[in-house]
A and B are shown apart, each in its own frame.
Chain A
Amino acid sequence: MVAVDDSRKRWFDEAAGPVARPYAVTGGRTRTGGIDLDLVTLVVSVEPTTHAQRVDTESAQLLWVCEHPLSVAEAAAGVRLPLRVVKVLLSDLIRHRYMLYQTGLRPASVPNLNTMQKVLDGLRAL
């Protein structure tokens, strides 16, 4: 997606399988290169006004959509692209430091008592 990205030259990786149209956006790539993005990982763009001009349309849309912290799932819904495509674009943006993401915070299966109590109180107050 970014002009300087070498991986752009390699159109398909081994997981691409048959050419699926949504992946044309990512140059056929389906991997995020070790950047661990869950559905509920929060991401936020860095100076979208500057960086949106340096990337392709879809990535620019992602930068605008993520002006404020947003989950990966919300970002995907915002740009109307499949999740895996959005993750590849996000991982490129993260590598270029155009986007920040929540590191090391996989959703914990069982959060601590304090968090659970907050969830309970929050639900009761709805």
Chain B
Amino acid sequence: MVSARSDRRTPPPAPSGLSLDATTLKILVSGGFGVGKTTMVGSVSEIVPLRTEETITEASVGVDDLTGIEGKTTTTVALDFGRITIDASLILYLFGTPGQDRFWFMWDELASGALGAVVLADTRRLQSCFAAVDFFERRGIPFVIGVNCFDGTQPYTADEVRAALDVPPHVPIQLCDARERDSTKRLLINLVQHVMTQSGL
């Protein structure tokens, strides 16, 4: 098929002067549904968050199935992500995990090689971020907890949230506002410092 120029889609703006040997880093933003992950990504991203989708194939367990076909179901998981170009040789990508939250945990690639993670918590339904905390703890991925203060108020202290989430003292917990650039910036700085401490840098 001949493809004319009219086939062009609008590409996401590329960082200028970027070369193929630039270092790219991944930070994940996760937490329960509707807690403000995409909002947080958008608050610091230099581009309007982009969305991409992955289909995950789930093999059914305990099915005596020689063909290997019938026992599978496919689920679509959406990811919103943003970008921070530190300079032409270093780019930070922030991946939020909206949509079917219980499925992204099956996405090994997402966590593989990730620098660290922000777990966004909503104290009105703290249990919705338990799975994310478990996930990062089990994989040894450093994370910080951002307690999103909706409407600027937060009835609990960081220590109370720590006790409720049962996370060890070395995991930073910070009150934040996912809409505010400065707040997200502080959370990311906290995360990077935490990663450095954890890896003895």
Contact = CB atoms under 8 A, between A and B. Distances in A.
Interface of A: 14-15, 17-18, 20, 22, 38-42, 44, 52-53, 55-57, 60-61, 64-71, 73-74, 76-80, 82-84, 100-102, 105-113, 115-116, 118-124, 126
12 contacts: A41-B24, A44-B20, A52-B7, A71-B83, A74-B14, A78-B10, A83-B52, A83-B53, A102-B20, A102-B21, A118-B90, A126-B84
A61 B7 contact: yes
B19 to A, nearest CB: 7
Interface of B: 1-3, 7-12, 14-15, 18-26, 44, 50-55, 57, 68-70, 72, 74, 76, 79, 81, 83-84, 86-87, 90-93, 95, 109-110, 112-115, 141, 181, 185, 188-189, 192-193, 195-196, 199, 201
**Nearest 10 CB-CB pairs, A to B?**
A60-B3, A122-B86, A107-B113, A68-B14, A77-B50, A40-B24, A65-B11, A110-B199, A76-B52, A17-B72
A77 B45 CA distance: 15
A56 B193 CA distance: 46
A120 B114 CA distance: 16
Contacts of A105: 21, 23-24
Nearest to A68: B14
Contacts of A18: 69-70, 72, 74
Given A57-B3, A123-B185, A116 B55 contact: no
Given A57-B3, A76-B52, A107-B113, A71 B24 contact: yes
A78 B113 contact: no
A115 B195 contact: no
